[in-house]
Every structure is written in structure tokens, then in C-alpha cells.
Amino acid sequence: MKASSKFQVSSFELSSFIINLVMIGVLLFSCHSGTKKAESNSASDESGVAKFVFSEEIHNFGSLKAGEIVAFTFVFRNEGTKSLIINEVDSGCGCTQVNIPNKTIAPGKDGQIEVIYNSAGEVGRQLKTITIKSNAEQAQKQIYIKANVSNELIEIYS
């Protein structure tokens, strides 16, 4: 007995099917290959590190009378190989205000962080910490201001 098949495929149809299948594979592979190249290019744009290098990390305002407002600008250089981006700054207390004119610093360029300190209500030796969060090699960087604040009103009653 001869088994009959409802589907009969000629050798021409089979070879056309295989050729189409191979062409689809080639197209998919070439699309994937192009995507992979684009990913590697964007990965190279993101490679490298950003790096803070400060000329001074601690600034001493010296002796102040309570109520004096003083300011100092910390200067730093991005000595990394990709742009340094400052995401957040925590000044630690309400007596310290921070201004950053440019939060994105290209490799090899200088940046500034201005710190304004209001000594009102303070007395004695003061050390304030400013924490900088960024995409740098060291994700959190700290800089400091110091002062010795005299407060006659508080000193009279102590």
C-alpha cells in the first residue's frame, strides 16, 4: 500500500523555502550585528572615569564674630576621562549654603563650588562638612570649612 500525503512539496519549492529562510537569517543577523556596533560605540562614550582633584579640600575662615557671613570658592579639576556630573550636594546644616555654577565638568576642565557660611548663633570651633554626590570615581566627596566663632552674648551667660 502506498501512503498518500496531502502535502507534496516539489524540490523547487523546497529549495525556494530554504533560500528564503537563509535570506531571513542573514537579514536578522545583519540587523543584530549593526545594533551591536551601536551599543559598543555608546559603551565607549560612557567608558572612563570622572575624577575630582581639589586645590584645597579644607578652608579655614579663622576667627569670626557671630553673625558674620563669609564665603569661599573651592576650585577643582576633573582629571578623569569622562564628564563629571554633580548630582547632589548636602551642606549638613542651615548655616551653610552651596552654589555650583556648572554641575557638568568636561575632562581636564575646572569647576567651582562656592560655600557661604553664616556664623549667626554659632560659638566656638566649627567644622562643617559639605558632601558632594556625583558620577566620579569616588561617588561621594567631602570638603570642609572651619571657623572659630566668638559669640559675646553666649559667652556672657556661660
Q: What does pTM read for this prediction?
A: 0.68
Residue 45, pLDDT above cutoff 50: no
Q: How far apart are CA 116 and CA 70, in angstroms?
A: 6
Residue 50 is classified by DSSP as B
What value does the mean pLDDT take over residues 68-97? 96
Location of C-alpha cell 537563509: 22
126 vs 2, which has greater pLDDT? Answer: 126
Tell me whether strands 52-54 and 69-78 are parallel, antiparallel or unpaired. Answer: antiparallel
> What pLDDT band is residue 44 in, cutting at 50, 70 and 90?
very low
Output b/e per residue, 37-56; b: 16+ Cβ within 10 A.
eeeeeeeeeeeeebbbeeee
Half-sphere exposure in the Cβ direction for 99 (13 Å, CA) = 7
The domain locations on the chain are 10-47, 52-156
pLDDT digits (tens, 9 = 90+) for 128-158: 999 999 999 999 999 999 999 998 876 666 5
Say which CATH topology domain 52-156 has.
Answer: Immunoglobulin-like (2.60.40)
Q: How far apart are CA 123 and CA 140, in angstroms?
A: 29
